[in-house]
Amino acid sequence: MSNAVLEIGKKAAAAKSSIANAGSAEKDRALRLIAEALIRDTDKILAANEKDVNAAKENGMSSALIDRLSLTKDRIKAIADAVLEIISLPDPVGRVVSGSTRPNGIRITKVSVPLGVIAVIYEARPNVTADAAALCLKSGNAVILRGGKEAFNSNMEIVNSMRSALSQTSISPDCIQFIEDTSRESATALMRLNGYVDVLIPRGGSGLIKSVIENSTVPVIETGTGNCHVYVDKSADIDMATEIVFNAKTSRPSVCNAAEKLLIHKDIAQTALPKICEKLKEKNVEIRADESALKLIPDAKPATDEDWDTEYLDYIIAVKAVNDIDEAIKHINTHGTKHSEAIVTESFAAAEKFCAEVDAAAVYVNASTRFTDGGEFGFGAEIGISTQKLHARGPVGLPELTSYKYVVRGEGQIR
Amino acid sequence: MSNAVLEIGKKAAAAKSSIANAGSAEKDRALRLIAEALIRDTDKILAANEKDVNAAKENGMSSALIDRLSLTKDRIKAIADAVLEIISLPDPVGRVVSGSTRPNGIRITKVSVPLGVIAVIYEARPNVTADAAALCLKSGNAVILRGGKEAFNSNMEIVNSMRSALSQTSISPDCIQFIEDTSRESATALMRLNGYVDVLIPRGGSGLIKSVIENSTVPVIETGTGNCHVYVDKSADIDMATEIVFNAKTSRPSVCNAAEKLLIHKDIAQTALPKICEKLKEKNVEIRADESALKLIPDAKPATDEDWDTEYLDYIIAVKAVNDIDEAIKHINTHGTKHSEAIVTESFAAAEKFCAEVDAAAVYVNASTRFTDGGEFGFGAEIGISTQKLHARGPVGLPELTSYKYVVRGEGQIR
């Protein structure tokens, strides 16, 4: 175990009560000071970011990734604005979830409380540094940030800025911890900080998620891999199906709620597939088709077995013709990542069956998978989309960053 | 990975939809048939149990453990009755937890759904076999049971009985899986059945819990270790404090919600400690005291550092005098296992401070820690007491054995 990481865990655990017991007003004041500090420190952050970007260019990083890494004055303003937006969300701590008076007179109240210390392991985007910290603080948690090495200087400067803001409040700056060591070892050490870290949230590609699941002894909220399907039922409105597939695939292919697969009922394939594929060509989407669909899309490539389990995050879609809704549901439950799955249908029975039997965080009838998002669901900001079933499923917003405790009041009751 | 365990995981995963999609009526019918089968098969179960008990005696098992292992006709009746009681609890599946219509017209409904496949690793008590299976079935989950080798024959026979009952329903008997291999390897294989097992619940001693946390890549609900404290504040009613400490320590010392430690404010120690200790002597409780408390309890043993972290599960209590409530809270948050913690006080401020700052599943004012129990909380049966913060905290009843999904209905909305 890396001693530096252990020390960071201890510092966060020692500081957590200062944020857990801070009231909403003080937490919101801290968030406002953080937003102001980020704006005040824009030049420092940009200078640090320039170092990161230059290093990335020297190391031959792709232009898409460099774009995700790069900060501008406007982007820092947007990061600060995102922090300010969190102020307006309801405080998730201290909600009375339920309660009762028992026959013996004890009063039981179930109250939401912070999780304690949340660790976030993430990759190249420096905006995650401020986003994650702000969400954790608002929900009363201390946070340990472990970003990727590509954004090291940017992250460091953003953290300095945020910690300087906290030093003007009653909340300890130690509630925001930053792991400077970007080695694999530091990540592994963080995954094993039981007793100091209450939950670990990985934000990144499937390699990171897999490593966390494999190695973490700390409880994990698994996020973000989305091999999402749109199933076009035989009774579908073809125009609606075309728009939904096009939107789900192309509106932002790099995100986890984008569609990666099209399943189409064989009875409608002949009429619907040419229309859908023509629309997808507007964005030059590469189509990979199974044997049966291939006959209807002459310029598609043949799909391989591997395609059905691949999250492309790109302008690629694989198409499979199915015999019926049961085959579609079975395919989704076998190959999906339990993220977001959609049916397009005019049949009530098919819609209800799909919703009941598809095992995913979000199931859609006649709407795009792209709506799986804290903002679109009306929850405000989110720290990720959970694809596990324990604790949180779907968008992980502020309430999902809390636990609860039972408070029991009596007059000397014994059992 | 043990192939046998993998096959069992596959069978449970393949069968889970038959229980997930079964209605309440069918699940309740299955539970009734299970209770009837257990009564019908009483002789077979007793014969199997006799083998286990004889083997345990040959292996020199303690009489207390043999008592926990032993079944009688009455005990089997009690096990069947516990299954019947679960019928009367509300079905936790299909509850609409919340929902909204968004500005674009999509209707979002958050609905409770089964977790899927729940694995339970437990030790010598054969009643857990039926309890755990019944709770999992009622909550729409398939279950994989991995009991201890001491109860192997009893467990096997109970499982046979339950599976025979399921074969008379639309629910697949494969929804109850039993791992016959009681080796450490089979437990470890079960902990790594990602993709087949949705959650793993260990029920047993701290060694088992520790091994599961260390080795499981499947999400875990940590249960059952309770190093619980009673803090007697300076303003406490001494008679009430005496009754609460006595009850919390001695009403059932072998369970996780029993008190293991007494913290006492130094200003009240001189008057309160002799009374409390005299009462504890009625049950021959061994008292281990810190230096300061030792002066007031001449016949106590000195406590060692190790005592503060030990869950005795026996007629032993360690006593520490503290300077103030802050020292008490700090001691609890350092040495407690986040299970159940009590304050005895007449001070409103002290009560509120204790409830806010003590980090535990259940915090008590003027009541015994022994109330942390699904039945006492009015939840009905429970599968254990969670001491973690993710997903479930405190008594894990039927609602905590579910997850949720978002069902989104629209008319072609795209983003």
Tens-place pLDDT, residues A113-123: 999 999 999 98
Q: How far apart are CA A131 and CA A84, in angstroms?
A: 10
Chain A window 125-184: which residues touch B at a Cβ cutoff of 8 Å? none
B116 touches chain A (CB under 8 A): yes
A407 to chain B: which residues are within 8 Å by CB? 355, 362-363, 365
Nearest alpha carbon to residue A362 among A340, A336, A344, A345: A340
Mutate to test the interface with A, among B352, B372, B403 (most CBs of A within 10 A): B403
- Mean pLDDT along residues B334-358: 97
* Closest Cα in chain A, distance from residue B172 (Å): 16
Tokens of A150: 């590509």
A404 to chain B: which residues are within 8 Å by CB? 393
B97 touches chain A (CB under 8 A): no
- Mean pLDDT along residues A142-151: 96
Grade residue A126 by pLDDT with cuts at 50, 70 and 90: very high
Closest chain B residue to A335, measured at CA? B195
Q: Containing H/E element for A301?
A: strand A301-302
Are β-strands B316-322 and B340-344 bridged in parallel, bridged antiparallel, or unpaired? unpaired
pLDDT at B270: 96
Q: What percent of chain A has pLDDT over 70?
A: 100
Q: How far apart are CA A333 and CA B409, in angstroms?
A: 20
Mutate to test the interface with B, among A240, A249, A403 (most CBs of B within 10 A): A403
Q: How far apart are CA A396 and CA A379, in angstroms?
A: 9
* Closest Cα in chain A, distance from residue B253 (Å): 13
* Closest Cα in chain A, distance from residue B61 (Å): 30
DSSP string, B393-412: -EE--TGGGEEEEEEEEEEE
- Mean pLDDT along residues B62-67: 87
Burial of B87 (0-12, 13-18, 19+ CB in 10 A): middle
3-class DSSP state for residue A228?
strand
CA B122 to chain centre: 11
| Per-residue model confidence as pLDDT tens digits over A68-107 | 899 999 999 999 999 999 999 999 999 999 999 999 999 9
Q: Verify whether the Cβ–Cβ distance B364 to A410 is below 8 Å.
A: yes
Cα–Cα distances in Å, from A255 out to A70, A154, A250, B398, B406? Answer: 18, 23, 10, 35, 19
Q: How far apart are CA B126 and CA B148, in angstroms?
A: 9
Grade residue B381 by pLDDT with cuts at 50, 70 and 90: confident
Nearest to B405 among A362, A367, A412 (CB): A362
Q: What percent of chain B has pLDDT over 90?
A: 92
- Looking at the DSSP assignment, which residues form a beta bridge with residue A142? A117
- Count CB neighbours of A292 within 10 A: 15
End-to-end CA distance of chain A: 44
Tokens of B295: 């002066």
Nearest to B356 among A21, A243, A372 (CB): A21
pLDDT at B332: 98
pLDDT at A14 > cutoff 70? yes
* Closest Cα in chain B, distance from residue A106 (Å): 8
Q: What percent of chain A has pLDDT over 90?
A: 92
Burial of A356 (0-12, 13-18, 19+ CB in 10 A): middle
Q: Verify whether the Cβ–Cβ distance B214 to A219 is below 8 Å.
A: no
- Count CB neighbours of B314 within 10 A: 14
The region of weakest confidence among A202-206, A339-343, A404-408, B339-343 is A202-206
| Per-residue model confidence as pLDDT tens digits over B211-225 | 999 999 999 999 878
Q: Verify whether the Cβ–Cβ distance B357 to A17 is below 8 Å.
A: yes
Query: What are the backbone angles phi and psi of residue A23, rounded to the nearest 5°?
Result: -75, 170
pLDDT at B124: 72
- Looking at the DSSP assignment, which residues form a beta bridge with residue B109? B99, B407
In CATH terms, is domain B228-371 a member of 3.50.50.60? no
3-class DSSP state for residue A35?
helix
State the ipTM, two decimals: 0.94
Instruction: Share the mean pLDDT of chain A.
Output: 95
A379 touches chain B (CB under 8 A): no
pLDDT at A176 > cutoff 80? yes
Residues of chain B with CATH 3.40.605.10: 3-223+390-409
pLDDT at A1: 54
pLDDT at B1 > cutoff 70? no
- Count CB neighbours of B247 within 10 A: 23
A81 touches chain B (CB under 8 A): no
B366 to chain A: which residues are within 8 Å by CB? 409-413
Cα–Cα distances in Å, from B277 out to B240, B284, B340? Answer: 14, 10, 22
Query: Under CATH, which number does the domain B3-223+390-409 receive?
Result: 3.40.605.10
* Closest Cα in chain A, distance from residue B377 (Å): 7
pLDDT at B137: 98
Segment of A61-70, A378-387, B19-28 carrying the highest mean pLDDT: B19-28
- Mean pLDDT along residues A44-60: 96
Q: How far apart are CA B404 and CA B111, in angstroms?
A: 5
The region of weakest confidence among A24-28, A204-208, A332-336, B137-141 is A204-208
Is A261:A308 a contact under the CB 8 Å cutoff?
A: yes
Is B12:B118 a contact under the CB 8 Å cutoff?
A: no
A307 touches chain B (CB under 8 A): no
Residues of chain A with CATH 3.40.309.10: 228-371
Q: Verify whether the Cβ–Cβ distance B362 to A408 is below 8 Å.
A: yes
Is B76:B42 a contact under the CB 8 Å cutoff?
A: yes
Q: Verify whether the Cβ–Cβ distance A364 to B408 is below 8 Å.
A: yes
Is A137:A148 a contact under the CB 8 Å cutoff?
A: no
Helix/strand/coil percent split, chain A, to 5: 45, 20, 35
A194 touches chain B (CB under 8 A): yes
- Mean pLDDT along residues B56-85: 93
Domain A3-223+391-409: CATH architecture, name and number where available = 3-Layer(aba) Sandwich (3.40)
Closest chain B residue to A359, measured at CA? B405
Closest chain B residue to A406, measured at CA? B362
pLDDT at B65: 86
Q: How far apart are CA B247 and CA B255, in angstroms?
A: 13
Q: Verify whether the Cβ–Cβ distance B247 to A388 is below 8 Å.
A: no
DSSP string, B272-333: HHHHHHHHHHTTT-EEEE-HHHHTT-TTPEEP-GGGGG----SSEEEEEEESSHHHHHHHHH
* Closest Cα in chain B, distance from residue A362 (Å): 5
- Count CB neighbours of A85 within 10 A: 15
pLDDT at B369 > cutoff 80? yes
Cα–Cα distances in Å, from B43 out to A402, B153, B260? Answer: 49, 13, 40
Mutate to test the interface with A, among B333, B345, B359, B393 (most CBs of A within 10 A): B359
Is B394:B362 a contact under the CB 8 Å cutoff?
A: yes
pLDDT at B310: 95
Tokens of B377: 């909380």
Closest chain A residue to B199, measured at CA? A390
Is A330:A320 a contact under the CB 8 Å cutoff?
A: no
pLDDT at B224: 77
- Mean pLDDT along residues A212-228: 92
B330 to chain A: which residues are within 8 Å by CB? none
Q: How far apart are CA B297 and CA B273, in angstroms?
A: 7
Q: Verify whether the Cβ–Cβ distance A391 to B393 is below 8 Å.
A: no
A348 touches chain B (CB under 8 A): no
Is B83:B35 a contact under the CB 8 Å cutoff?
A: yes
| Per-residue model confidence as pLDDT tens digits over B163-192 | 999 999 999 999 999 999 999 999 999 999
Closest chain A residue to B359, measured at CA? A405
Alpha helices (H) along A88-226: 127-138, 152-166, 184-190, 206-215
Q: How many Cα neighbours within 13 Å face the side chain of B185?
A: 7
- Looking at the DSSP assignment, which residues form a beta bridge with residue B367? A413
Q: How far apart are CA B294 and CA B278, in angstroms?
A: 14
- Mean pLDDT along residues B245-273: 96
pLDDT at A123: 86
| Per-residue model confidence as pLDDT tens digits over B95-105 | 999 999 999 99
pLDDT at A204: 84
- Looking at the DSSP assignment, which residues form a beta bridge with residue A408? A108, B364
3-class DSSP state for residue B109?
strand
Closest chain B residue to A250, measured at CA? B415
Q: How far apart are CA A146 and CA A131, in angstroms?
A: 13
The region of weakest confidence among A318-322, B237-241, B381-385 is B381-385
B415 touches chain A (CB under 8 A): yes
- Mean pLDDT along residues B57-78: 93
pLDDT at B206: 81
Tokens of A84: 């300010």
Q: Count of A–B CB contacts within 8 Å?
A: 191
Q: Verify whether the Cβ–Cβ distance B405 to A116 is below 8 Å.
A: no
Residue with tokens 């406002």: A32
